[in-house]
Structure 1
């Protein structure tokens, strides 16, 4: 693959991963902070509303003002103060906006010395800020109600709570959250670099396989096309010859044309399987009858080559598979067995039930396969012996096609050497 194109694609993957992590962390931060802001003050605001509905607490504060006794406590049945919230203060307002209970507030009045009455927020939670003597900003939440009794000078009652501790905790949490998100995003950059490299592996592997496939297909197509072209050009140099005179050249061209047809058919099968366009037409089939009919022509060919052919298929099994496709698989395996065995060798086909699978085994006593070549035997265009494959007319596509068909049936195929010599192919197809 073009190096610049590879770098650009990898950079694209890297930027996509970085952006994805950044968006995720950003959304996480925004959602967390939003929910925290909404919930952090909810308990404080609910407490202010509850206090505004507690008539005993309000009456107690009014009595403190009227009796000028800031240490007056009204206790409930369990002798506990009705209100002991340290940050919460109750302000009694006159009609003209004067704070009536300054004395009972004592030192608590100093921070709210500049507080003014604002009747626009009656029966609503309201946030406001004040400056203290040191010019520090104090934040409060407030709830203002009208006094229920008209017998005294109290016109409004205001409940205020200092929210500086809550705001300080929120700011600290936000800072920690932001720092944490930034640190993890920086770590995600390294992860994105690794992922971009990892994501390129299947792309490069697929590209290499495609390039290898195209190169091998071009090579296989070039040879028969060259032979046909040379023969046709030669025929043009003999315009007066009869067909019988050039029978060898014509026969050779026809033979190469057949090879081309077979090759293009195999390539089309592989291309369809790669694009998931290979359709299976499964039907219940009796394996014994299927194997018996399929192997009959091969038994005759083996006899002509002075080879022994055995069929071990006495067990009647009903298996659901595509007859034409599995027929193609077995023909490929039997054809290989006949090609790579000599006179005196034997070929054995066995059909048995193994668990929930139909196992078909085709083995021969011909030459074993080099153990180093076994892992590559099902690769496309792979041939252990190029010279021998050309003699037998092989392209190295048969086993690749067989493997693909078996996989499409959710089965498996494997090859192994047998002792003292020989090769065994095992195919497993699910019974249903």
Structure 2
């Protein structure tokens, strides 16, 4: 992939991740502040509404105003304690208003009235919680915050409205401190997320780069493999043109060579087409119920005959007897690939085993041969396209390194597994596991 394109794509991933983290942190901070604000003022607001519903407490405040006695407590001790339960009277005030908006109980408020002298009556905010901010004339730097609940009074001759105030400066200061800490934490974690975004953008590019490299290798290998037979065909045809007077029999060798390479090229292009369809999810399986035993028996017969002709031992262990839902043509293709490889890489007197059985809810198929073993390093790459353990030998046997890759694709589409292991003391085992359909 072009370096400039790769860099731009990585930057794009980076900025997307940074923006995503920033959006998440902002949303989380906003939700956290709203929830905290709601819960912080909930008890204060509940206390104000309870006070407004407490007739004993209202009567006592009106009586104090009428008798001009701030220390009056006409209620019994038990009732007085009950009325004050849950209400912090150090932070709450009860204001009695006249019809024309004047505070009536100034003397009862005493020194606290200086903090409330700028308070005005808002008749539009009755029976609802209201937030108030007052400035003290003697100290303009001091701002007082209150939550207010005002009701219309039906007690007393002069009292028209009753306002309940709760000082919220302490809550507001705590909220301000929390908001500052939250913002600092969000900034710190957002800076950390920038580093994480850089790492994630790098990780996101790795699959793309790997895919690009594989595609590039695939095209290069396919071009290389196609170039050889095309060159042979071209040379053979050019040779025929140099001898126009010769008969077909006289030039049968270059013609046969060209035909042989044409067949090989056709096989290669079919394999490439199979892999391309599988990569693009266009390789559709035609599944049907198949009886494993006759299927394996029929498939193995020609390979048994070939092995016998080459003085090789072919052993068939055919035990699977449960119907399988498979694409018969594709599974046949897989087994032909494995058996063909087993025949190619075994010499005379050596053994090939085809085993089929039902094991642990799986159709287990194994193709074994006691030919050359495969190294552990080669086992890691043996299912890769165009990979050949012994390239010189593969050329002799006509292989392109696509067969096992195609086999793995087909087995994977069947939700199965194709694996390879050593067959001790010498040899290789290719194992297929296909799940039984309940």
TM class, shorter-length: over 0.9
- Give runs of ≥4 in structure 1 deviating > 6 Å: none
Counterpart CA distance in 1 for 2:262 and 2:76 is 108
Alignment partner of 2:290 out of 285, 292, 305: 285
2:119 is aligned with 1:115:
yes
What are the Cα deviations for residues 224-264 of structure 1, in whole angstroms up to 9, with x where unaligned? 11111222223233333332232222211111111111001
Alignment partner of 2:134 out of 113, 127, 130: 130
2:32 is aligned with 1:32:
yes
Counterpart CA distance in 2 for 1:371 and 1:157 is 89
Match of 1:183 in 2: 188
What are the Cα deviations for residues 110-138 of structure 1, in whole angstroms up to 9, with x where unaligned? 20123233333333333222221211111
Counterpart CA distance in 2 for 1:423 and 1:96 is 104
Post-superposition shift, 1:371? 3.6
Match of 1:48 in 2: 48
Match of 1:395 in 2: 400
Match of 2:145 in 1: 139
Retained in 1: the 8 A contact 2:319–2:358?
no
Match of 1:329 in 2: 334
Counterpart CA distance in 2 for 1:347 and 1:116 is 102
Counterpart CA distance in 2 for 1:26 and 1:163 is 26
SS at match of 1:360: strand
Change in CA separation of 1:353 and 1:120 when aligned onto 2, cut-off 3 Å: closer
Counterpart CA distance in 2 for 1:153 and 1:67 is 13
2:316 is aligned with 1:308:
no
Counterpart CA distance in 1 for 2:291 and 2:375 is 36
Matched pairs, number: 431
Post-superposition shift, 1:315? 4.8
Which stretch of the first structure deviates more once superposed, 292-301 or 420-429? Answer: 420-429
2:10 is aligned with 1:10:
yes
Counterpart CA distance in 2 for 1:370 and 1:63 is 101
Match of 2:281 in 1: 276
2:105 is aligned with 1:101:
yes
2:220 is aligned with 1:215:
yes
Alignment partner of 1:347 out of 352, 362, 365: 352
Give the TM-score taking structure 2 as reference length.
0.93
Post-superposition shift, 1:75? 3.3
Retained in 1: the 8 A contact 2:368–2:429?
yes
Counterpart CA distance in 2 for 1:134 and 1:153 is 32
Change in CA separation of 1:378 and 1:119 when aligned onto 2, cut-off 3 Å: closer
**What RMSD in Å do the two structures reach over aligned CA positions?**
1.9
What are the Cα deviations for residues 124-176 of structure 1, in whole angstroms up to 9, with x where unaligned? 33322222121111122222333213x52222222222221121121111111
Which stretch of the first structure deviates more once superposed, 230-239 or 207-216? Answer: 230-239
Post-superposition shift, 1:78? 2.5
Post-superposition shift, 1:296? 0.9
Give the TM-score taking structure 1 as reference length.
0.94
Post-superposition shift, 1:185? 0.9
Counterpart CA distance in 2 for 1:98 and 1:302 is 115
Match of 2:204 in 1: 199
Counterpart CA distance in 2 for 1:368 and 1:96 is 105
Post-superposition shift, 1:311? 1.0
